[in-house]
Amino acid sequence: MMKQQIIDKIVLVGCDQAALESLGSTLSSYLAVQLVSFSQVDESCNWQADIVGYVMSDMGPNHLHNISQVRSRVGCKQLFVFTAHLSIPLLCQLLRTQVTDAMLTPCMPSELLRLTSHLSEHSQVTCHLDHDQLPALAEAFSDVSQHSLHEVLQTVEHNFERKLSQQTIAKQLNMSPSRLSHMFKDLCGIGFCHYLVCRRLEEAELMLAQSKANITAVAFELGFANPSHFCRAFKEHLGITPTAYLGGERHVSLSPLYQRYLNLRAEILPAITMAARRQALAQRAHLRVAN
């Protein structure tokens, strides 16, 4: 039997109906959207779609398997992932599965712009986003590299596991610690110390995903004062203990601060995202050579 071919809509697929409907409601203002429960993506599914968006409602380990099933059974040309929790380790995992792009939910203006611009150019999906009506947020963030903040963020990125302080970085940039503190908070919406802790926690997720990880070693390697401090911070911002995460638990409950941090990284650190893409592509190439 001939399968129905959907080419003028982005088909959103997910296991959580509430998350699916929430994202669908947002995107339908800018794109032609169709919602499909993951349970309908089985071996007998009678439809195919050029563009599919998979909605991750949590950090459960089954999602990567589900994404693989969607790709093989729906035959999509482009696959987007929408998730409330997008870390660099997760982005690398997704890119290794050849996902087109991964985006945070709720979608921010700059992400809607990126999505609709891409689909307008590379698909037949009907898009009706008026770019002129987007808030100035995306434009404001695009100019961040003009400020000393860019240097601060790059310094943190290369040294977050060390004993960094505002005083040390302020001295490197020839500014007062007070000025650095105010600039960082004004432009990022979170304090420097909070950003540093969140960056370490993001890296901790990757390290704890390794089967032979040791919580004490991870804590000290990432610059925490002691394992107790690390465990408290992890539980406060991810909602589960490092022990549970090490044991395979992925149903996290992010704090508002950690969510703000993830949004910030997605918005003003495109270089880090590109680095993750290059890393994933290099790993793919290495696997092809090895095989």
pLDDT in tens, 2-54: 678 898 999 999 999 999 999 999 899 889 999 999 988 887 777 889 999 99
CA dist 226 and 204 (Å) reads 14
Do residues 52 and 38 make contact, with C-beta atoms less than 8 angstroms apart?
no
The average pLDDT across 125-147 equals 54
Fold of 4-135: Rossmann fold (3.40.50)
CA dist 162 and 173 (Å) reads 18
The average pLDDT across 274-287 equals 50
Share of the chain above pLDDT 70, in %: 81
Please give the model's pTM, rounded to 2 decimal places. 0.57
**Any idea where the domains of the chain sit in the sequence?**
4-135, 146-253
DSSP H/E element including 34: strand 33-37
Q: Percent helix, strand and coil across the chain, each rounded to 5?
A: 55, 15, 30
The average pLDDT across 146-158 equals 74
CA dist 90 and 15 (Å) reads 19
CA dist 86 and 239 (Å) reads 16
Q: Amino acid letter at 186? A: D
Fold of 146-253: Arc Repressor Mutant, subunit A (1.10.10)
Do residues 54 and 70 make contact, with C-beta atoms less than 8 angstroms apart?
yes
CA dist 71 and 40 (Å) reads 13
Per-residue pLDDT tens over the stretch 98-130:
888 888 887 777 678 788 888 988 999 988 765
